[in-house]
Structure 1
Amino acid sequence: MALICYSVRFARSNHARHISQARASFDRSLGRNFVRICRQEKIMAFKITVLCHETPFPPTHGGKVDMWRRLLALKRAGNHLQIISWDYGALDAGRAKVMDHVADDHLYIPLKRTLAFRAQHLLRFFRHPWFACIRWPGSELGNIARAVKEFAPDIIFLDGWHGALVAFYLQDKLGLPLYYRSQNIEHQYIRAQHRYATTFRARMVTYIAGLHMQKFEHEIISRSAIVFDISVDDIKYWNGLGYANIQYLPPIFGEDSNAATSEKNAVFDLVFLGNLRTPNNIAGVTWLIEKVMPIIWRSRPNTTLLLAGSNPDSEFGRYLEGIVNIKVLLNPGDAGKVLVQGRICVNPISTAGGVQIKNIDMLLAGRPIVTRSSGVSGLPSDVRKCFFIADEESQFSDTILKLLCNPQQTCDKQLLHSYFGELRIKELIDSIASNLENKPQSL
């Protein structure tokens, strides 16, 4: 197994000024650590084939944010990346340029919503979860395997479970070690989404998504040399089942987070950031609007709320229209700039899994955070102390009203950096290097 040691150099292309604003923002983020990295004489690095269940740019929701920030950090640390990603439709030129700038090689596999496309994957669905089945590339598998063999990676990094069938194939075909990034106890998370689903379509989708999931998740963990789990609580669960190959890897915050926290003038009293599509988020935001806000408005009638989220459910979008003192911001591009628009960040979601990326961004926004108990699930105990936790509507509203009258100190930045800074990428690489050196028999 060849480890690459070399000095890192970064050069921005001459035509960067001609590309989109998102691309320019990405370039600034990628180059920000240039001086710090180059001061290190040598960096241990790998050639890594990363399987991303969605194309992570632009990072419009928590799962994509987690993938994207880690890819940027791996790139900044000198690793060579081959990225295999899936998404619906064609990959437009702007997104392709950004992906090519991060990856030495990007293999894009389009998904389709047609009956013919779905029919191709029905047989595999008798054994595996549906959203893993539709990512099986069929006739393109040979081309993908050849591209990976030509790239000659040291490891496969499975970022999310959806691409596991392809990861298994590459692991067996090319004899490569597999490492897995776990976002959730997935079978439990999908069951919770099913419980909160209110429409027939949502209940069907979540039911189908959960079929074969528990067995599949165990297979992924058993095949992985190391599972890098986002949640300290989930690690305890897997350890209790006898798995000893689980390590903690928290999400990494973005390089532009400090700039976002310097803004002082909040436009809204309260702000929520999260997708407006999944059943648990819809239930949580509905609870906030119908149970909590009326109590607040009785005491403070002009209190304003910003709801910022991606891909709203059409029925829920119609519900939100026209509610006084509530503004809806769809598909925001920069979480930090959105969150500092509120004096207080709120998280009304009552059930979730893993770690909610929105909470990490809320901490970095430097605002007080009021959340229900599930909002701190998966976080270390030191970080949980940074939140105001309230589960009942009266407690939630009272906490908000008190903070609006008397804002309190937020979390210490040094503490946040110790948990969510880019030092975690070095720990990730060190763990992989140690595993490859000391336990070759597990590969």
Structure 2
Amino acid sequence: MGEVLFLAHRVPFPPDRGDKIRSHHLLKALAKLGPVHVGTFGETKQDMAQRPELVTIAKTHALIERAKPLPLAGAEALVKGRPVSLTAFDHEAMRRYVAKTLGNHRIETIFVFSGQMGQYIPDRFAGRVVIDLCDVDSAKFEAYADAGQRRWLNRREGALLALEEERLARRADRLLLISENEVDLFRSRLSASTKADLYALGNGIDAQFFDPVQVGLQADLEEGEDPQLVFTGQMDYPPNIAAVGWMIENVMPTLRKTYPRARFHVVGRAPVQSIRDHHGENGVRVWGEVPDVRPFLKSADVVVAPLLIARGVQNKVLEAMAMAKPVVVTPGAATGIDAVDGVHFAIAEPEPAATLDRIEALLSDDEKRLGMGKAARQFVVERMNWDRIYIRLAQLLDGSESGRDAA
């Protein structure tokens, strides 16, 4: 399909968080189809150490350190009337790389991963533009505001991002979202005059890596402790913070009346202070970043994902399912996973009694719990592997009719 310029707001290595997992696999898929040039940002020492990985996959690359503090980006955004999330990723060095790459190479396609990078598509570029927004970010910020989180700032961000999403919809030849639900939501927010070519491209799971036979139990979870609940995720991300806080406050105290030794393990990097403060109370253990989440998942009796605000397909849910674990999810966390409630996972409304019912039903029935875990793994192995996503992406890029019809 010719040479591709791939722009991602975070370096797609290592694939250790939701957005980087998706961008990592999309980049791998594109590299199989033709030469790829990569422009991306790094935020940490680990990010900036990924240059050798980029060298192995990209014809040329730019790994630029993004060091603009969020308060500075916020102040700049207010002055310029722009979204904070775009301003935070606005960097002259990236503009120079894009211009140089387009000038020196025969780029036929610009593939943009995440809306923050749409600002780097030159107006004069006449080739194909593919934009993967993943989720409808404007709706996410509106949900934060509705939940009482920094109402004015999040309401402003949502409104400005909605304008940017409309612009990107007009600019893209193909615009991708992570599920049909997100496609429908995005379409409903566009003005009547905007014609957009929208497609759903789901997430996959590396079921060979997330395979319970590949790892042992996590020793520190004290085999025999009854029972073990696990949540995994980036713990400075607002939806994860809200989900864990809700679980700690609304579910664990009541659950421990039935199971006095029940423990709830919060596993994920950068836990905020409001979550760390709960460490040690009502069976809560906050682990922070760990070398490998798989032993924690393998050691869990039940994995929980009680997300109150959820956009798109949740990798944490797919990973737990691949590890043959029963997962109790809210309807939002189940979005984009075409599994059957009560067979492959358990859906509970974000209400304490409903969540407790689903958790306790699994804890009290070993056969049901193990059966659901087995069915969950079989489902993701057969239906949500990355090879299927690679084929779907290739179909979308070449414009084949099968790509348009597949969901």
TM-score bin, normalised by smaller chain: 0.7 to 0.9
Larger RCO, structure (CA 8 Å, separation 6 or more): 1
Partner of 2:405: none
C-alpha distance in structure 1 between counterparts of 2:17 and 2:318, whole Å: 13
What is the SS of the residue equivalent to 2:211? Answer: helix
Q: 1:320 to 1:197 in 2, by over 3 A?
A: farther
1:427 equivalenced with 2:392 (yes/no)? yes
1:395 equivalenced with 2:354 (yes/no)? yes
What is the SS of the residue equivalent to 1:422? Answer: helix
C-alpha distance in structure 1 between counterparts of 2:47 and 2:233, whole Å: 25
Q: 1:277-426 residue pairs with structure 2 within 5 A?
A: 277-317=236-276, 319-380=277-338, 386-391=344-349, 392-407=351-366, 408=368, 409-410=371-372, 411=375, 413=377, 415-416=379-380, 417-426=382-391
Shift of residue 157 of structure 1? 0.9
Shift of residue 65 of structure 1? 1.9
Q: 1:425 to 1:191 in 2, by over 3 A?
A: same
1:80 equivalenced with 2:31 (yes/no)? no
- Contact (CA 8 Å) 1:193, 1:278: kept in 2 or not? no
C-alpha distance in structure 2 between counterparts of 1:418 and 1:302, whole Å: 36
- Deviations, residues 213-252 of structure 1 (Å, cap 9, x unaligned): 1111111112111112101112223444565511121112
Shift of residue 354 of structure 1? 1.9
Query: Which is further off, 246-255 or 294-303?
Result: 246-255
- Contact (CA 8 Å) 2:328, 2:355: kept in 1 or not? yes
- Contact (CA 8 Å) 2:228, 2:302: kept in 1 or not? yes
Shift of residue 335 of structure 1? 4.2
- Contact (CA 8 Å) 1:346, 1:371: kept in 2 or not? yes
C-alpha distance in structure 2 between counterparts of 1:245 and 1:115, whole Å: 33
Work out which of the residue numbers 49, 52, 60 in structure 2 matches 1:105. Answer: 60
What is the SS of the residue equivalent to 2:63? Answer: strand
C-alpha distance in structure 1 between counterparts of 2:234 and 2:139, whole Å: 19
- Contact (CA 8 Å) 1:231, 1:250: kept in 2 or not? yes
Partner of 1:157: 111
Q: 1:333 to 1:91 in 2, by over 3 A?
A: closer
Between the aligned residues of both structures, percent identity stands at 19
- Contact (CA 8 Å) 1:155, 1:178: kept in 2 or not? yes
- Contact (CA 8 Å) 2:236, 2:270: kept in 1 or not? yes
What is the SS of the residue equivalent to 1:253? Answer: coil
- Deviations, residues 390-428 of structure 1 (Å, cap 9, x unaligned): 122122122212212213223355542333431221221
Q: 1:93-132 residue pairs with structure 2 within 5 A?
A: 94-113=49-68, 118=73, 121-122=76-77, 125-126=80-81, 128-132=82-86
Q: TM-score, normalised by structure 1?
A: 0.77
Q: 1:143 to 1:352 in 2, by over 3 A?
A: closer
Shift of residue 131 of structure 1? 1.8
Query: Which is further off, 207-216 or 85-94?
Result: 85-94
C-alpha distance in structure 2 between counterparts of 1:205 and 1:142, whole Å: 31
What is the SS of the residue equivalent to 1:254? Answer: coil
1:220 equivalenced with 2:168 (yes/no)? yes
C-alpha distance in structure 2 between counterparts of 1:429 and 1:115, whole Å: 37
- Contact (CA 8 Å) 1:48, 1:156: kept in 2 or not? yes
What is the SS of the residue equivalent to 1:155? Answer: strand
Q: 1:61 to 1:208 in 2, by over 3 A?
A: farther
Q: 1:86 to 1:124 in 2, by over 3 A?
A: farther
Q: TM-score, normalised by structure 2?
A: 0.83
Structure 1: 5+ residue stretches without partners: 4-45, 437-443
- Contact (CA 8 Å) 1:81, 1:105: kept in 2 or not? yes
1:247 equivalenced with 2:208 (yes/no)? no
Shift of residue 333 of structure 1? 4.5
Structure 2: 5+ residue stretches without partners: 222-226, 402-407
Partner of 1:137: 91
What is the SS of the residue equivalent to 1:340? Answer: helix
Query: Which is further off, 286-295 or 104-113?
Result: 104-113
What is the SS of the residue equivalent to 1:235? Answer: helix
C-alpha distance in structure 2 between counterparts of 1:146 and 1:61, whole Å: 30
- Contact (CA 8 Å) 1:50, 1:84: kept in 2 or not? yes
C-alpha distance in structure 2 between counterparts of 1:141 and 1:73, whole Å: 25
Shift of residue 181 of structure 1? 1.0
> What's the RMSD between the two structures over aligned residues?
3.2
C-alpha distance in structure 2 between counterparts of 1:115 and 1:348, whole Å: 28
Letter in 2 for 1:329: W
Q: 1:205 to 1:119 in 2, by over 3 A?
A: closer
C-alpha distance in structure 2 between counterparts of 1:263 and 1:61, whole Å: 20
Letter in 1 for 2:173: A
- Contact (CA 8 Å) 1:69, 1:253: kept in 2 or not? no
Q: 1:414 to 1:255 in 2, by over 3 A?
A: closer
1:189 equivalenced with 2:147 (yes/no)? no
1:56 equivalenced with 2:12 (yes/no)? yes
Letter in 1 for 2:37: Q
Shift of residue 66 of structure 1? 1.7
Shift of residue 69 of structure 1? 2.8
